[in-house]
Structure 1
Amino acid sequence: MAAYKVLVLLVVVAATLAYPQYPPAPSYGSPGPVAHPKYDFNYSVKDNNGNDFGHQETRDGYNTQGNYYVQLPDGRLEKVNYYVNGDSGYVAQVDYQGEAQYPAYQPAPSYQPAPVYG
């Protein structure tokens, strides 16, 4: 019986030694104070292919405001002024400059299948 107890003790010690011991996870502390987001950016594109668009935005904390514009395919210029202040949501004012122009309808040519020679 004593040999059985020694054997059980050896099995428990072997199992304990075989179980991997990992060091504790590193502690990085609590996050420090987070600064308000604050930025200002703008860009614009105007090329010879008819692309004309741009965007400008400013943000300081929860106050965001800006505008963007785009030349529409119908010839009008769409301008959007917007702001977001806290929980007010996105508030936009959309304006259009110019008159929509639609070209006259030109039917596409009809295509016939190519002849098959045997």
Structure 2
Amino acid sequence: MIKVAVILGLFGLALSAPEDAYGPIVHEPVYKGEPTPYSFAYGVKDDYAGTDFGQTEESDGSTVKGSYTVQLPDGRKQTVNYVADHYGGYRAEVSYYGEAQYPHEYGPPITFKPQVYHEPSYNPAPTYN
């Protein structure tokens, strides 16, 4: 009988303890502002390194429309046109320009020219405190 009383006492104590030992979780209300229209675009083309990509995107506050392009290693250019909103999700249309090329021999790897190191024009004297 004593064992049952002790078990019931411990069970009641466990139920009365707070659920979170660090205190109650308080959820602050989230206030979302009005959607803000925006647009941006960028592009990178570096013939020396062989990079060529870019993106444009615009939004009226509820729907986002845009496209991005990238030069693929096989020589083709990939373009993705997309539309995204809360109702239809993300919808993309992918297209390729050019024909894939796989050469039998590869050229030398792309390397960058070494930068010339210039000695400082003055030699500051060391200071001792």
Whether TM exceeds 0.5 here: the answer is yes
Unaligned runs of 5+ in 2: 1-28, 107-129
Give the root-mean-square deviation of aligned CA atoms: 1.9
What does residue 72 of structure 1 align with?
A: 72
**Equivalent residue number for residue 51 of structure 1:** 51
| Alignment correspondent of 2:121 | none
Displaced runs of 4+ in structure 1, greater than 4 A?
30-33
TM-score when normalising by structure 1:
0.59
1:85 is the counterpart of 2:85: yes
**Offset at 1:84?**
1.0
Structure 2 letter corresponding to 1:70: V
Once the two structures are TM-superposed, the CA of residue 37 in structure 1 deviates from its matched residue by 2.7
TM-score normalised to the size of structure 2?
0.54
Paired positions, count: 77
Identical amino acids, percent of aligned pairs: 47
Matches within 5 A, 1:98-109: 98-104=98-104
Report the structure, 1 or 2, having the larger helix content. 1
